[in-house]
């Protein structure tokens, strides 16, 4: 079974997700997330399903912002992000980044982190440093330059609605099927929800269309007794 990036039965992991990403949320959703984090810190009894629901609400609320930031810093803002991260990380880490860029020709932090040799060329502490600084700088940029990302955010909102519609259709296909087949479809849906909502991935709509077409075809086949 594919391991999900966020375990919806892990209370601390869910609280950490709320804490890590609430900075990109709309005011109302941010306030809800912060109230739940505070209740957890105060030792209040919280139902795991309630925290998971709050995490999904937050994840969907911030998805257009995450999409916009990824697009912006992968294209016209690539060197802005690289330079800002280099200025904040330790000198030794910045030196490694420059050496890696000259050796490989990567043009953005996304290409650096996604490179096959990233794990080999940087120690775990250095990788974590780069990723943490990048996360905080993106949050700062989001809060300081929202107007510059408006068109990308709107594009992200449209894409998110398409995702939600197709994933709902995929879940609906599990209805009326034998338990094993239904669980296969639901597991597939949970995997996509995790990748899109919680990891913030951009998956092509064609991929989801192919999944829907496959399971619709399967549903038309006779089921052996």
CB-based contact 96:127 (threshold 8 Å): no
pLDDT at 180: 87
CA 115 to chain centre: 19
**Confidence label for 8 from pLDDT (cuts 50, 70 and 90):** very high
List C-alpha distances in Å: 75 to 70, 81, 111, 152: 9, 10, 11, 12
Burial class of 144 by CB neighbour count within 10 A (0 to 12, 13 to 18, 19+) = exposed
User: What value does the mean pLDDT take over residues 95-107?
Assistant: 95
Residues of the chain by 3-state class (helix, strand, coil), percent to 5:
80, 0, 20
List C-alpha distances in Å: 97 to 73, 106, 112, 119, 127: 17, 10, 8, 13, 10
- Give residue for tokens 């077409």: 213
Rounded-to-10 torsion of CA 21, 23, 29, 33: 60
pLDDT surpasses 80 at 186 = yes
pLDDT surpasses 90 at 218 = no
- Of 225, 198, 195, 181, nearest to 62 by C-alpha is 198
- Of 60, 75, 85, 204, nearest to 148 by C-alpha is 75
**Confidence label for 222 from pLDDT (cuts 50, 70 and 90):** low
List C-alpha distances in Å: 151 to 114, 133, 144: 26, 25, 16
**Confidence label for 41 from pLDDT (cuts 50, 70 and 90):** very high
134-172 pLDDT tens trace: 999 999 999 998 889 999 999 999 999 999 999 999 999
The 10 Å Cβ neighbour count of residue 62 is 24
pTM of the model: 0.90
pLDDT at 109: 94
Residue-range domain boundaries for the chain: 11-74+146-220, 78-144
User: What value does the mean pLDDT take over residues 61-78?
Assistant: 94
């Amino acid at each position: 079974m594919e391991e999900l990036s966020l375990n919806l039965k892990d209370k601390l992991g869910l609280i950490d997700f709320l804490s890590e990403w609430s900075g990109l949320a709309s005011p109302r959703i941010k306030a809800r997330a912060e109230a739940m984090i505070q209740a957890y810190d105060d030792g209040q009894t919280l139902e795991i399903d309630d925290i998971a629901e709050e995490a999904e609400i937050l994840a969907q609320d911030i998805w257009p912002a995450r999409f916009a930031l990824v697009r912006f810093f992968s294209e016209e803002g690539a060197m802005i992000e690289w330079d800002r991260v280099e200025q904040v990380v330790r000198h030794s880490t910045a030196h490694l980044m420059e050496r890696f860029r000259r050796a490989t020709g990567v043009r953005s932090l996304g290409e650096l982190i996604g490179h096959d040799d990233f794990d080999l060329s940087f120690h775990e502490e250095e990788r974590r440093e780069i990723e943490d600084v990048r996360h905080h700088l993106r949050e700062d940029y989001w809060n300081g330059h929202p107007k510059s990302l408006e068109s990308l955010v709107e594009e992200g909102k449209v894409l998110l609605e398409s995702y939600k519609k197709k994933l709902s259709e995929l879940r609906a296909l599990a209805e009326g099927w034998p338990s094993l087949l239904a669980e296969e479809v639901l597991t597939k849906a949970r995997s996509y929800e995790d990748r899109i909502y919680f990891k913030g991935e951009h998956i092509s709509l064609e991929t989801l269309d192919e999944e829907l077409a496959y399971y619709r075809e399967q549903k038309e086949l006779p089921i052996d007794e």
